[in-house]
Amino acid sequence: MPATQDNSMTPASTPRAPGGTIAVAGATGGLGAAICETLAQGGSPLLLGYHHNAAKAETLRNRLAALGAPVATCPVDLQDAASVDRFLEEASALSGGLCAVVNATGPAIPLRPLTEIPAAEFQRILRCDVEGAFNLLTAAGRQLAASGGGSLLQLLTTAVLRTLENDAMSGVPKTAAMGLVRQLARELGPANVRVNGIAPGVIDAGIVHSSFTTDPVAEGVISECLARTPMPRMGKPEEVGALAAFLLSEPASYINGQIIGIDGGYSA
């Protein structure tokens, strides 16, 4: 009698990216850290990219290493192409070479109408969200294409799927980043490089968690978003981590150019 296979998803069976190291930019943020933890549970070697906070990155590295995954840290400034190249070179030198890159970075944004955003503030956020994504995704795409394939994953926002008052600077720059995802998926697909995006709604992590009770404007935006969500609760960071791990895994090998919302139905 043939053996049966249990395909249920448990922490111990977290999908693992096929071979090599996964480089995560923005690893110390709320969602970045959750993604890294899920990947580490699956045994994937990781390079944790951080901008300024080396101590926070080292704390995260120690926590993930305790799960048994090979983990290293590396500073990276996505607005500096040379820094991005060094980050990717570091990942390529680690276990199995580079197999996937996750961009989980994002700047602090003002929550007010688009007509009230100063031009300098608009340009600052565009540089971080759009220029940063361009630098990382294109450089990583070239490298993965040259090495036989891999996967790129860009964190976006549910605001690219449905707008909300006072949240323009979340959605507008990330909509441009979404365009990068879709275009690169078309260009890099023939080289066996998949490019996808995750569009989280209100997730109980990072700035959402800290601002919900301390910033009245942020609380209003979050509450309004939840009021329009069929499943009226915040998402969990580990839910985003599980989706990211799946998209980077072999079972997702035919998923390319997709923007997947994880927002409780807010964008439906």
Give the least confident one: 74-83, 183-192, 213-222: 213-222
Q: What is the mean predicted confidence (pLDDT) over 105-124? A: 94
Which alpha helices (H) appear in the chain, and where do they start and end?
30-41, 54-65, 81-92, 119-126, 132-146, 168-188, 206-211, 216-227, 237-247
Does a structural domain hold residue 2? no
Q: What angle do CA 154, 123, 142 make, to 5 degrees?
A: 35
Helix, strand and coil in the chain, % to nearest 5? 50, 15, 35
Select the more confidently predicted residue: 222 or 189.
Answer: 189
Mean pLDDT, the chain, rounded, equals: 91
Does a structural domain hold residue 131? yes
Q: What is the mean predicted confidence (pLDDT) over 246-266? A: 98
Does a structural domain hold residue 268? no
Give the least confident one: 6-15, 132-141, 197-206, 247-256: 6-15
Does a structural domain hold residue 10? no
- DSSP class of residue 9 equals -
Q: For residue 63, give every residue at least 6 positions away whose Cβ sits within 8 Å of its Cβ, in sequence order, or none.
A: 37
Does a structural domain hold residue 85? yes
Q: For residue 159, give every residue at least 6 positions away whose Cβ sits within 8 Å of its Cβ, in sequence order, or none.
A: 167, 170, 171, 174
Q: What angle do CA 240, 58, 212 make, to 5 degrees?
A: 45
Its sign, for the CA torsion 102, 104, 107, 109, is: positive
**What CATH number does residue 176 fall under?**
3.40.50.720
pLDDT tens track for 8-25: 444 445 665 568 999 999
Containing domain of residue 136, as a range? 15-262
Q: Is the pLDDT of residue 60 over 60?
A: yes
Select the more confidently predicted residue: 110 or 66.
Answer: 66
pLDDT value at residue 16: 59
Q: H-helix or E-strand containing 252?
A: none
Q: Is the pLDDT of residue 211 over 50?
A: no
